[in-house]
Structure 1
Amino acid sequence: MRPLPAALAVLSTAALAACSATEAAAPTSAPPSPSPITITGTVSVAGGVSRAGSSECALGGGYRDIAPGTQVVVTDPAGKTIALGKLGGGQWSSRKCVFAFMVREVPPGHQFYGVEVSHRGRLQYPAEQVVKPLSLTLGD
């Protein structure tokens, strides 16, 4: 009956080896998810009127929907809304009314992003382009 202590020694060694292998294979914390991106740009509209004594401008006619606070929608490639922003105040520049926009907290990882101002139609941009300021134009 001497083999019993030897068998226990073998089983103990095997159990310790299994525990060590399990600990080594256990994953560490998940890699951090990519940070959200911010999409910035301008919308330039030919025409408009400058406000006396300032560089601010306003639009009329068929462009009344383009004004400070107008919604800027960012979509994924399927057209699902993933982030919202708005136009800032219009500035008169080279006979155009120029509105800046910024859309924060845009989820990263899409190959393409759609950007739409008001109801003017969605424009698609590749991911590498939306990390640089966009320049959109309405009118001439």
Structure 2
Amino acid sequence: MTNTNTTPEQPAVPPLPEQPPASPVPAKKKLSPLTAGILGLVLGAGIVGGAWAITANSSSEPDTFTLEGTFALMEDAVDIGDSCGGRYDSGYDDIQEGTSVTVYGAAGDVVATGHLTNGEKALGTCTFDVAVEDVPKGEKFYKVEVAHRGTVQVSAEEAENGEFAASLG
């Protein structure tokens, strides 16, 4: 019979070396502050440039449009230099090239401003071009006012399609 209460003899553990063995991977060198700064600058510029390129080439529609159309002064129109406008004593003397055009949103707030341009007189009527840039999209309708003469309401579709038309007199 064998004694099972005895522990078998263990192999001897070799002693640890006094110096660790040489690593097959060389130790990493620390970057100098100047090198780290230049590397950070180059990486940062690359990220910003990449983001700019992606957003610049995106095909999303602009959030604004140019409201275009015409405004006609139907009476008391006279030639004014290369343009036309209201006769000085007619009550329409504020209507001429450069007269303000204000666009209001559905809530009544001013959303964009512009002015009358390219006045042309024909058959006693002075017709101006209206082009108000940077009108924000998203309103149900717009109201357009020339000078202080009251507003004309246009649907969002008409406004965005350049279908504004109004007259006075």
TM-score, normalised relative to structure 2: 0.58
Which of 79, 101, 104 aligns to 2:133? It is 104
Give CA deviations for 1:67-98 in whole Å, capped at 9, x if unaligned.
11111000111110000010114211232011
Q: 1:67-78, aligned counterparts within 5 Å? A: 67-78=96-107
Please report the RMSD computed on the Cα atoms of aligned residues, expressed in angstroms.
Answer: 2.2
How far apart, in 2, do the equivalents of 1:41 and 1:112 lie? Answer: 16
Q: 1:20-59, aligned counterparts within 5 Å? A: 32=60, 34-47=62-75, 48-50=77-79, 56-59=83-86
Extract unaligned runs of 5+ from structure 1. Answer: 1-30
Please list every run of at least 4 consecutive aligned residues from structure 1 whose deviation after the TM superposition is greater than 6 angstroms: none
Q: 2:94–2:147: 8 Å Cα contact kept in structure 1?
A: yes
Extract unaligned runs of 5+ from structure 2. Answer: 1-58
The question of 1:133 aligning with 2:159 is answered no
Please identify which structure carries the higher helix content. 1
Q: Hey, what does 1:27 align to over in structure 2?
A: none
Q: 1:57–1:90: 8 Å Cα contact kept in structure 2?
A: yes
Q: 2:72–2:166: 8 Å Cα contact kept in structure 1?
A: yes
Shift of 1:34: 4.3
- Distance change >3 Å, CA 91–CA 110, structure 1 → 2: same
TM-score, normalised relative to structure 1: 0.69
Q: 1:67–1:89: 8 Å Cα contact kept in structure 2?
A: no
What count of residue pairs does the alignment treat as equivalent? Answer: 108
Higher relative contact order (CA closer than 8 Å, sequence separation 6+): 1
Larger radius of gyration: 2
